[in-house]
Amino acid sequence: MKLAEAESKMQKTVEATQQAFNTIRTGRANASLLDKVQVDYYGSPTPLKSLANISTPDATTILIQPYDKSSLNLVEKAISLSDVGLTPSNDGSVIRLNIPPLTSDRRKELAKIAAKYAEEGRVGIRNIRRDAIDSIRKQEKASEISEDESKDLQDKLQKLTNQYTTRIDQLLGDKEKDISTV
């Protein structure tokens, strides 16, 4: 595994962690809360965002307008069954989701979930580092690179690892600040 390849994988891990953070509800309406919602549309699970226009007309409302009006009830059912924790209200043409203000207990729970996502991201980065170091050591054993080159590559890899784990920590700090803001 080359250094550039390891860096690319670490960047993707940071991006995946950021997307996981986006699915956590803060006190504001955000269309990405519905990213994980799958609608059983004609017998196959389909992402909600490919079946409907999702908008946020104000800070406490998400508006879902299905492209196909006949799928309105399916969309409503999928949201009800999902882990979003919001109750949809259907007026016949659109579905509204009202975002209630978060309680302090719920904020603490969401902060724990964010911390869990961050830890998963850090573990992913450490796994990438471990695989890259194994690859470097194999190259050293096969005499493809010298011991000095091996140590140099491992040092660079550690610096990359530190850089990307710091980035995840920054994202976590931003998300915790978002969650705790009333």
pLDDT digits (tens, 9 = 90+) for 57-66: 887 888 888 8
As a whole number of angstroms, the distance between CA 127 and CA 161 comes to 10
Query: Six-digit token pair at 32?
Result: 């990405």
Res. 1 pLDDT band, cuts 50 70 90: low
pTM of the model: 0.71
As a whole number of angstroms, the distance between CA 150 and CA 139 comes to 8
Tens-digit pLDDT profile for residues 112-169:
989 999 999 999 999 999 999 999 999 888 888 888 988 999 999 999 999 999 999 9
pLDDT of residue 119: 95
pLDDT of residue 85: 74
- Taking the CB of residue 61, how many other CB atoms lie within 10 A of it? 13
Tens-digit pLDDT profile for residues 47-97:
888 888 888 888 788 888 888 888 888 888 888 887 777 788 888 888 888
Q: Are 3 and 156 in contact (CB under 8 A)?
A: yes
Query: For 144, what's the count of Cα atoms within 13 Å in the CB-facing half-sphere?
Result: 6
The position carrying tokens 């699915």 is 23
Q: The domain 31-98 is classified under which CATH number: 3.20.20.70, 3.30.1360.40, 3.10.129.10, 3.90.1150.10?
A: 3.30.1360.40
Q: Where are the domains of the chain?
A: 3-22+103-180, 31-98
- Taking the CB of residue 3, how many other CB atoms lie within 10 A of it? 13
Look at 59 and 45; give whichever has higher pLDDT: 45
What class is the 3-22+103-180 domain?
mainly alpha
Query: Residue 25: is its pLDDT beyond 80?
Result: no
pLDDT of residue 167: 96
Query: Six-digit token pair at 34?
Result: 């519905």
Q: Are 70 and 39 in contact (CB under 8 A)?
A: no
